[in-house]
Amino acid sequence: MTWNDPRGHDHPRSSTVTPNPQPVWYPVQPVFSRPAPPRPRVASTVALAVGFTVIGVFALAVVVYFLIFLRPSLIAAGALLAFVPLAIVLVGIWLVDRWEPEPRVALLFAFLWGAAVAVSTALVVDIVVGNVRAVFGLADGDSADLFGAVVQAPVVEEAAKGFGVLLVLWIFRRHFDGPVDGIVYAATVAAGFAFVENIQYFAVQVADDLATGSQGLVFTFLVRAIMSPFAHVMYTACTGVALGYAVRRTGPFGAIGFFFAGLVPAIALHALWNGALVVVGGAFFAYYLLVQVPIFAAMVGLVIFLRRSERRTTHARLAEYAAVGWFSADEVAMLSTSAGRRRARRWAAANGLGPAMKRFVSDATRLASTRQRMLKGRRELDAVAGRDEAELLQALGASRAALQAPATAFADHAPRPDGTPWVDGSGRPMGSGYDGADRGRQPVYYDQWGRPLPPQW
């Protein structure tokens, strides 16, 4: 496909010709092609089924726990308030994920893991630690609260959330291409965890305000929903970035080392935030402005840097495929810029080809990431990456075929089976205009799809 004249000519245009013609699509001829080897899908299907089963069990446990300690009306009120920071985080995830959207089933798995398994793990550990303290006669106090906030909660919660991101890498490895994907999946896990945690915090605070007449809910909502909706996202994103680099450099088990490396900054950031809530007291807002705001700005800068790096990678890797005929130069330019993609999608939507264009852009972006993994990864990953590459090239061929033959092209001329233009009885292209009545008209030629080509002068 290309956005230019498919015959490769630069002809002067008549004043009657539209200065900004619609895109003209024509086949790109790849130099090489290889069939995709069969992919074993049983293991990933079983792992996904087991994962959702485990999530269901833990989700039921969370619901039972909430119903034991909280009235349904308080849970509903907490959930309503918790939707505010959740909506903010989901919008942020969508903005980061637009370049290469992740599969919905993978995002659902990540969200439910955070909301059910990670929350349940934190609750179970909290109950166990409380019982151990009671058995040994350890009194509760400021030291216990500080330990729970600065040590126990960061370690347990980040390990539980980070392990969910690691599971996503193992189960959905084909769709886990780099650091940006790691941030998206980590943020989704964190969003699920924070949503359920906020329900608990808000519901308990509502109950306390009703019982005492205080207005603590205002401060709790301000801190958790307005000032720090991305707090858990920032922590777990450290693990996600580490695992994003792991997919390009090592195999599934090698990613475990990257997982522990990412946990260190995740736990440190979490402990820094929780410790401040316990230690700084009245100076909390000054601490927030001087410490937490710069950290958040740095994380936003990191995301922007990784997104731009991903675009540059897309251009560089697709240019390598263009060199051997899989793409045209115009396609590479379109696929590696946001403006080019928007223009292509508008054109596709206007011609009823929105889904085909969406698949084409998505597969091309994943192909670039797969190529990057082949270049940066270890030799033992070549077979897996090669299989992914072959599947994506086949999918791109199918999408291109749909885009090259839009339904609007057949309004007046059906294509010939061999792809050559239709001609009249004298062997001239149909619609050429050379008849006895208009001998002086500029001939009109058609491509193999029956669409008129621009004038050749």
Q: For every residue of 205-248, which 3-state class applies, written as one string? A: HHHHHHHHCCCHHHHHHHHHHHHCCCHHHHHHHHHHHHHHHHHH
Residue 417 has pLDDT above 50, yes or no: no
Greater confidence (283 vs 83) lies with 83
Residue 171 has pLDDT above 50, yes or no: yes
List pLDDT tens digits, range 305-339. 999 999 999 999 999 999 888 888 888 989 999 88
Residue 84 has pLDDT above 50, yes or no: yes
Residue closest to 27 by CA, chosen among 396, 413, 320, 456: 396
Q: Examine residue 24 and state whether it is found in any structural domain, yes or no.
A: no
List pLDDT tens digits, range 215-250. 899 999 999 999 999 999 999 999 999 999 998 888
Residue closest to 52 by CA, chosen among 156, 164, 162, 159: 164
pLDDT at 136: 78
Residue 93 has pLDDT above 90, yes or no: yes
When mean pLDDT is compared over 77-86, 386-395, 402-411, 428-437, the highest value belongs to 77-86
Do residues 352 and 408 lie in contact, with contact meaning Cβ atoms separated by under 8 Å?
yes
Residue 412 has pLDDT above 60, yes or no: no
Residue 37 has pLDDT above 80, yes or no: no
Residue 42 has pLDDT above 70, yes or no: no
Lowest mean pLDDT among 75-89, 186-200, 360-374, 436-450: 436-450
Total structural domains in the chain?
1
Q: What are phi and psi of 423, to 5 degrees?
A: -130, 160
pLDDT at 90: 97
Residue 9 has pLDDT above 70, yes or no: no
Q: Examine residue 61 and state whether it is found in any structural domain, yes or no.
A: yes
Residue closest to 307 by CA, chosen among 33, 13, 95, 63: 95
Terminal Cα distance for the chain, rounded = 23
**Contacts of 176 by beta carbon, 8 Å cutoff, 6+ apart:** 168, 169, 182, 185, 243, 244, 247
Q: Examine residue 83 and state whether it is found in any structural domain, yes or no.
A: yes
Residue 380 has pLDDT above 70, yes or no: no
pLDDT at 419: 46
Read off the pLDDT of each residue in 22-32 and give the average, rounded to a whole number. Answer: 45
Greater confidence (423 vs 72) lies with 72
List pLDDT tens digits, range 332-370. 989 999 889 999 889 888 888 888 899 999 999 999 988
Residue closest to 79 by CA, chosen among 200, 222, 215: 200
Q: Give the percent of the chain with pLDDT over 90.
A: 51
Residue closest to 169 by CA, chosen among 281, 256, 287, 297: 256
Residue 424 has pLDDT above 70, yes or no: no
What's the domain range around 211?
Answer: 42-279
Residue 433 has pLDDT above 50, yes or no: no
Beta-bridged to residue 429, according to DSSP, are 423
pLDDT at 300: 96
Count of residues for the chain? 457
Beta-bridged to residue 446, according to DSSP, are 452
pLDDT at 405: 59
Q: Examine residue 436 and state whether it is found in any structural domain, yes or no.
A: no
Give me the sign of the Cα torsion angle 54, 55, 59, 60: negative
pLDDT at 351: 84
Read off the pLDDT of each residue in 25-31 and give the average, rounded to a whole number. Answer: 45
Residue 89 has pLDDT above 70, yes or no: yes
Q: Which residues of 390-401 are buried (b: 16+ CB within 10 A; e: fewer)?
A: bbbbebbeebbe
* Residue 240 to residue 262: CA distance in whole angstroms: 7
- Average pLDDT over the chain reads 81
Query: Would you state the torsion angle of the CA atoms of residues 114, 119, 122, 124, taken in this order, to the nearest 10 degrees?
Result: -130
Read off the pLDDT of each residue in 380-387 and give the average, rounded to a whole number. Answer: 69
Angle subtended by helix axes 153-171 and 42-69, to nearest 10:
150
* Residue 146 to residue 144: CA distance in whole angstroms: 5
Q: Examine residue 361 and state whether it is found in any structural domain, yes or no.
A: no
Beta-bridged to residue 423, according to DSSP, are 429
* Residue 266 to residue 232: CA distance in whole angstroms: 9
Lowest mean pLDDT among 172-176, 332-336, 431-435: 431-435
pLDDT-derived band at 15 (thresholds 50, 70, 90) equals very low
Angle subtended by helix axes 153-171 and 119-135, to nearest 10:
150
Greater confidence (448 vs 65) lies with 65
Q: Give the percent of the chain with pLDDT over 70.
A: 77
Q: Examine residue 446 and state whether it is found in any structural domain, yes or no.
A: no
Residue closest to 156 by CA, chosen among 270, 303, 42: 270
- Residue indicated by tokens 């807002």: 285
pLDDT at 263: 97
Largest CA distance in the chain: 109
Q: Examine residue 139 and state whether it is found in any structural domain, yes or no.
A: yes
Q: Examine residue 8 and state whether it is found in any structural domain, yes or no.
A: no
Residue closest to 402 by CA, chosen among 35, 1, 3: 1
pLDDT-derived band at 139 (thresholds 50, 70, 90) equals low
* Residue 262 to residue 52: CA distance in whole angstroms: 25
Read off the pLDDT of each residue in 173-187 and give the average, rounded to a whole number. Answer: 93
